[in-house]
Amino acid sequence: MTTEILPIDSLMIDRWTNQWIKQLGFNNEQLLKRNTKVEQFSRFVLDRIQVKKSTDIAKREQLLLETLREYENRLSRTGFESDICEEFENMKLKQKELFIEKKHQELDLKEEKYIKELDQLSQNERSLCQILAATIMDIVTDETLIKRIERLRGYLDELDKLKTERLTTIKSYRIRLNDLIDRLNFKLDNLSTISQLLDENYESCLTTDALGQIESFLIELECKSAEQENYVNALVGKLEKLYAKLTRDDATPPKRSAAYILRHNTAETVKQLENEIAQLQAKRMATSQAYCQSMRKKIEDLYEQCQIGSSERHPIDFDNIIPETLDECDREYDRLDSMYHVRKPILDAFEQWKVLVQQHGEFQKKSTSAARFHERGYSAVKEQAERKRFAVALPKAERACLNILEQWEKEHENEQFLINDIPIRPIIEQQHTGTSNVTTTVSNPPSTISKTVSMSSTALAAIPQRPAAKNNIRKKSLRNIVKQTVEQHVSKSRHDEVDEDTLEFTQLENIKHFNGLPRIVTSTPKTGKNPSSHTVVDMGRNKNNDPIHKRRPSKRLIPTRR
């Protein structure tokens, strides 16, 4: 800063001159010398004053700069926006000092206000974290006051939202708990969290642990309520059976109670139903003797209808009649009744298959016997049709029985379907393969407990042994020769093909005439004095010299296989 030279006023010089002249008695020369010294001293003083002023101004400018920097640091620390206008640079030093001082005071008030708000928010945070058992928000270094307040407000909003949700949840829990506790007649500890919740002391129940305890206790009560509801349904079902039985046995049926009609899931309803069951059972015990005898007969009839052996029967002590005996009779009758509907299709299919097997065995025995040729009305066409019928019907019945049996085995894993303690699948498989020679006992008739039926393929397809041919055959009789030849071919075919289901009539060789011409023996026996004889038809020859030509040939011929 350049110092300006202060002008010396002439009036001041005159005053000094007069003063010096009058007081000191200086002359003009002395006065001039003195003036020069005064001027020098004045200039010296002025220079000192100017130096001091410039020094003070520099210090004030430095202090103003530091104050401005501190103000900016405070703004950056608190996060407030700077409000220094552009006119600040054009202000004088004193105005700048006053302006900065004013801004510092305003910033102090504003910062104090925000610090108080931060303290209040921190206090609310600690309170909510204590209530909700949450963690306090972490402090971030180099975070402004405004940023921390904003982040704390957001965290408090989350805590308030969580608190509101938990309050809504526990209020709904309180309603459900009141209902379940009243329904189950449950006794609570007065110091437990559940008791505080029921007393509407919600703040002590907002923590995560308390909420977990309430939820687990609520689940436990709901499970007990479900069990109680199932128990109520079981009691109602038992009452229904008792009402039905007493109505059937007694002309004056009992009146239904309100607990039975309404069926509320409460402890009081359970007590009422139990008391009602006890009363009905006591009333039922009055006629227990006759009832047990009647049920015993029905159970035994179902045993026979279902063909159940001793291994599948439940023993009941009919000699010691107590309420449990009546219940056992009812349970066994219900079990057998449901079992009958399940077993009946299998029993019917097995019986149908067994009848076909027996009929097929009788047919095999009859079709492999040569005596059928001597029977009246024998027809090879009918025999072949019957064989075809068995070839279709028997596998069909077997497959139908196995299908129903497989469906039952899928529903009853690791179990065998038994008829009087005998599994029927091995019987069907042995009959199918034809490898078993063991007879199986199967019980079916209503009057007797068991009936022995031969189920093996050998027994069902047994072939009777024919007697040996006579040795005293008259060689001159063509009829006896033909008869002996037919019997030999039939016997040979029977012994060679014992396991065959059909008898191939086309395998019989043509009987040749004594002159070498072929003949065919018919299967239809003749009527008359000698019904055992058969008709022989010559093929491709004049029959004038044939002694059998005069006999009337049979119209029924043996069908040939094409």
DSSP characters over 312-349? GPPP--SSS--HHHHHHHHHHHHHHHHHHHHHHHHHHH
- Cα gap 370→384, rounded to integer Å: 15
* Residue 281: per-residue pLDDT: 79
Vertex 264: Cα angle to 258 and 266 (nearest 5): 115
Residues in CB range of 78: below 8 A, 6 or more apart: 107, 110, 111, 114, 144, 145, 146
Q: What is the pTM of this model?
A: 0.44
Tens digit of pLDDT at every position of the chain (562 positions): 444 555 566 777 677 767 766 666 667 777 678 778 878 888 898 889 989 989 988 998 899 889 888 888 888 888 888 777 777 778 888 888 888 888 889 888 988 999 999 999 999 988 888 888 888 888 887 788 888 899 999 999 999 999 899 899 988 998 998 888 888 888 887 667 888 888 888 888 888 888 888 889 999 999 999 999 899 888 888 888 888 777 766 656 677 777 777 788 888 888 888 888 888 878 777 777 877 888 888 888 998 888 888 888 888 888 888 878 877 888 888 888 988 998 899 999 999 999 989 988 888 888 888 888 888 878 888 888 888 988 898 899 999 999 999 999 888 888 888 898 899 888 888 888 863 343 333 333 333 323 333 333 333 333 233 333 334 433 334 455 545 555 555 455 444 444 444 333 333 334 344 444 444 444 444 444 444 444 444 444 444 444 444 455 555 555 555 4
User: Considering only the top CATH level, what class is 307-369+378-436?
Assistant: mainly alpha
Q: Which two tokens stand for residue 293?
A: 């005898």
Backbone angles phi, psi at 469, to 5 degrees: -70, 150
Q: Give which of 458, 410, 411 is closest to 434, Cα–Cα.
A: 458
Residues in CB range of 270: below 8 A, 6 or more apart: 228, 231, 232, 235
* Residue 249: per-residue pLDDT: 64
Q: Which long-range contacts (CB under 8 A, 24 or more apart) does 54-62 make?
A: 54/1, 54/3, 57/1, 57/93, 60/93, 60/97, 61/93
Residue pair 482/513 in contact by the 8 Å Cβ criterion: no
- Measure the CA dihedral 324/330/331/337, to 10°: 170
Q: Give which of 278, 259, 255 is closest to 268, Cα–Cα.
A: 259
List the 511-512 sheet strands across, edge first.
Answer: 511-512, 518-521, 536-538
* Residue 461: per-residue pLDDT: 36
Mode of pairing for the β-strands spanning 422-423 and 452-453: unpaired
Residue pair 432/334 in contact by the 8 Å Cβ criterion: no
Q: Which two tokens stand for residue 394?
A: 């028997």
Residue pair 544/538 in contact by the 8 Å Cβ criterion: no
Q: End-to-end alpha-carbon separation of the chain, Å?
A: 147
Tell me the HSE value of 131 on the side-chain side, using a 13 A CA sphere: 18
Vertex 322: Cα angle to 319 and 323 (nearest 5): 140
- Measure the CA dihedral 213/214/215/221, to 10°: 110
* Residue 458: per-residue pLDDT: 35
- Sketch the domain layout of the chain as residue ranges: 4-112, 307-369+378-436
Q: What is the DSSP letter of 512?
A: E
Q: How far is CA 284 from CA 13, 231, 244, 246, 386, in A?
A: 150, 22, 12, 7, 60
- Cα gap 374→509, rounded to integer Å: 19
pLDDT tens readout for residues 46-70: 889 989 989 988 998 899 889 888 8
Q: Give which of 95, 33, 103, 119 is closest to 67, Cα–Cα.
A: 103
- Cα gap 21→287, rounded to integer Å: 163
Q: Give which of 344, 336, 353, 345 is closest to 453, Cα–Cα.
A: 353
* Residue 119: per-residue pLDDT: 92
Vertex 244: Cα angle to 239 and 247 (nearest 5): 120
* Residue 157: per-residue pLDDT: 92
